[in-house]
């Protein structure tokens, strides 16, 4: 039986890879093993618990305030031993994290084919998002099978000279995940607290935003809350200590702002579905919110997800204080603008991406 090793390490990778792990294991056509790098610890473990996925290997690399060097070196060192030990026929990586890049590089050094889930997203600017744009491009060079979520992503890969028969458009596995997590009957105390107000759900974690840009964002949101008595903000704060320090300092002391621990994915998806508006620099949340028709103000200058902008649910607002403030206030007061942004349709597929990817892997690998 052919052996597939699925590797991931952060919260978003886990959310998007677990549906594929479950589907591949259900079929019993391959020997499937899961390796987590543990680039994230608590934020990864809560996702594994939700999907009931137990890793076969855990590299456990996370350190407080880890640098890109720390992450890369530790993965290169520890993942190569897993490859030597298990000797898979294929390694599956996801997206654009340093886990994805370093594990794909290990596989390349060992001459093991790589398949890339969520392939082909590009900003074409190596500094934004940093270092993710580099990671994604670098993984594409190594990849044998590219699983692109949209036609747009496929075209990016074609323009880079990847052969058409190595690219498969599958939709995004995050839609598969949302089929499992979202429920009409969902209840949470925080949502009860926000009932009757315009709930702004916010997140921020990008490396390039830490420092002045994030300070600008937080100050803008503080002004929003001071000017609009009908608004409440829920902000599940990323566990990065530098972000926590800034968030506590600027947003920590207002009765209509709740800074809370990261939510598990079931909670977060259901919070999105009950929000009025999302303010975020996240990648994955741009996809999820458009599925619910929730307007998203993206706290970045570029996005590798232009489909959401074309569909009308996303708007890039950068990190300038005035610009963030103006855009949030517009969405709070301009009903026509709000309804135009909230009626767009999701471009990310039908929620069967894991099934399509598994079909392709069966077709390609079982006939080798």
Known catalytic residues are 96, 118, 132, 205, 207, 238
Give the binding-site size for ligand UD1 (rule: CB under 6 A): 24
Least distance CB 176 / ligand UDP (angstroms): 12
Find which of ligand UDP, ligand UD1, none residue 236 binds, CB within 5 to 8 Å per kind. Answer: ligand UDP
Nearer to ligand UDP, 52 or 164 (CB): 52
Least distance CB 295 / ligand UDP (angstroms): 16
Binding to ligand UDP (CB under 6 A) within 186-205 occurs at 203, 205
Least distance CB 74 / ligand UDP (angstroms): 20
69 binds ligand UD1 (CB under 6 A): no
Binding to ligand UD1 (CB under 6 A) within 177-236 occurs at 205, 207
Distances in Å between the Cα of 111 and the Cα atoms of 69, 84, 85, 87 are 23, 11, 14, 10
- CA dihedral sign of residues 19, 76, 42, 302: negative
269 binds ligand UDP (CB under 6 A): yes
Binding to ligand UDP (CB under 6 A) within 338-357 occurs at none
42 binds ligand UD1 (CB under 6 A): yes
3-class secondary structure per residue, the chain: CCEEEEEECCHHHHHHHHHHHHHHHHHCCCEEEEEECCCCCHHHHHHHHHHCCCCCEECCCCCCCCCHHHHHHHHHHHHHHHHHHHCCCEEEEECCCHHHHHHHHHHHHCCCCEEEECCCCCCCCCCCCCCHHHHHHHHHHHCCEEEECCHHHHHHHHHCCCCHHHEEECCCHHHHHHHHHCCCCCCCHHHHHHCCCEEEEEECCCHHHCCHHHHHHHHHHHHHHHHCCCEEEEEECCCCHHHHHHHHHHHCCCCCEEEECCCCHHHHHHHHHHCCEEEECCCHHHHHHHHCCCCEEECCCCCCCHHHHHHCCEEECCCCHHHHHHHHHHHHHCHHHHHHHHCCCCCCCCCCHHHHHHHHHHHHHHCC
131 binds ligand UD1 (CB under 6 A): yes
Nearer to ligand UDP, 83 or 178 (CB): 178
**Residue of 100, 270, 282, 342 interacting with ligand UDP (CB under 6 A):** 282
289 binds ligand UDP (CB under 6 A): no
Least distance CB 268 / ligand UDP (angstroms): 4
> By rule CB under 6 A, what string of x and - marks binding of each residue 221-250 to ligand UDP?
---------------x--------------
**Residue of 8, 57, 79, 268 interacting with ligand UDP (CB under 6 A):** 268
**Residue of 92, 285, 311, 317 interacting with ligand UDP (CB under 6 A):** 285
Q: Which residues bind ligand UD1 (CB under 6 A)?
A: 10-12, 39-43, 63-66, 68, 71, 96-98, 131-132, 205, 207, 239-241
Q: Which residues bind ligand UDP (CB under 6 A)?
A: 11-12, 15, 203, 205, 236, 262-263, 265, 268-269, 282-285, 288
């Amino acid at each position: 039986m052919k052996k597939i090793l699925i590797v991931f390490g952060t919260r978003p990778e886990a959310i998007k890879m677990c549906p594929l792990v479950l589907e591949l294991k259900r079929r019993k056509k391959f020997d499937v093993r899961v390796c987590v790098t543990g680039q994230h610890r608590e934020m990864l473990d809560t996702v594994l618990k939700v999907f009931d996925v137990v890793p076969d290997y855990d590299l456990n690399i996370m350190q407080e305030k880890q640098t890109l060097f720390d992450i890369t070196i530790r993965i290169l060192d520890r993942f190569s031993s897993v490859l030597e030990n298990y000797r898979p026929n294929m390694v599956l990586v996801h997206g654009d994290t340093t886990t994805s890049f370093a594990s794909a590089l290990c596989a390349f050094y060992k001459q093991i084919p790589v398949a890339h889930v969520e392939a082909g997203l590009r900003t074409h600017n190596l500094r934004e998002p940093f270092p993710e744009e580099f990671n994604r491009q670098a993984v594409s060079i190594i990849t044998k099978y590219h699983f692109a979520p949209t036609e747009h992503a496929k075209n990016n890969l074609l323009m880079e000279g990847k052969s058409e028969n190595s690219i498969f458009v599958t939709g995004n596995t995050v839609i598969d995940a949302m089929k499992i997590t979202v429920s009409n009957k969902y209840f949470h105390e925080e949502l009860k607290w926000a009932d009757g107000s315009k709930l702004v759900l916010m997140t921020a974690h990008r490396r390039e935003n830490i420092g002045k840009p994030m300070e600008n964002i937080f100050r803008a949101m503080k002004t929003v809350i001071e000017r609009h008595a009908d608004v409440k903000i829920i902000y599940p704060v990323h566990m990065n200590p530098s972000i926590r320090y800034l968030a506590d300092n600027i947003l920590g002391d207002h009765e209509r702002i709740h800074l809370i621990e990261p939510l598990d994915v079931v909670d977060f998806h259901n919070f999105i579905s009950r929000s009025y508006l999302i303010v975020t620099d996240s990648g994955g949340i741009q996809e999820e919110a458009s599925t619910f028709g929730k307007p998203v103000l993206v706290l970045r200058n570029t996005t590798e997800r232009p489909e959401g902008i074309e569909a009308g649910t996303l708007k890039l607002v950068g990190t300038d204080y005035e610009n963030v403030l103006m855009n949030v206030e517009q969405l709070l007061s301009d009903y026509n603008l709000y309804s135009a942004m909230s009626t767009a349709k999701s471009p990310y597929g039908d929620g069967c991406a894991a099934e399509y990817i598994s079909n392709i892997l069966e077709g390609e690998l079982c006939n080798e």
